[in-house]
Amino acid sequence: MRSRVFVVVSLLLAGTLLALRVERLALAQQSGVKRTVLRRLDDPAAPGYEAVMAVAELPAGASTGRHRHPGVEVAYVLEGTILLQHEGRPDTTVRAGDSFSNTGVHNASNTGPNPARILAVYLVEKGKPLAEPAP
């Protein structure tokens, strides 16, 4: 009897954890951010890391939500206006022609009336997603 209860409780716990993970992924995808990977290259100076070049697109009024990258993001704004919010730093507005970098937990919001496009290079751990939601 005890082993049946243990199995049922274990299955319920595993199901709950899976549901929370699926919900978290769904929320991350609802932000409207689209990342198109243009190129991936192994980092010769740091085994286990790679450089990834991508274009990130944010519709007008969209926000990435609080997230982090498993490494560093260096970016150039191709079009639009973005409000960057980093933990422990003042908010920064970047516009077409500006460059910036992101480390740690941050949020990016398109504060302009048109879509924003960013060319980004990520130096990240291999096998990890380019961005992951932060609590």
Q: Mind listing the pLDDT tens digit for each residue in 28-86? A: 443 688 999 999 999 878 889 999 999 999 999 999 999 998 899 999 999 999 999 99
pLDDT of residue 2: 57
> In the chain, what are the domain boundaries?
1-30, 33-133
Averaged pLDDT score across all residues of the chain: 81
Is the domain spanning 33-133 CATH 3.30.70.20? The answer is no
Report the sign of the C-alpha dihedral through residues 20, 25, 106, 113, in that order: negative
Residue 10: pLDDT above 80? no
Q: Mind listing the pLDDT tens digit for each residue in 83-110? A: 999 988 999 999 999 999 988 899 999 9
**Cβ distance 50 to 41 under 8 Å?**
yes
**Cβ distance 78 to 119 under 8 Å?**
yes
pLDDT of residue 79: 96
SS (H, E, C) 113-134: CCCEEEEEEEEEECCCCCCEEC
Nearest alpha carbon to residue 66 among 108, 128, 124: 108
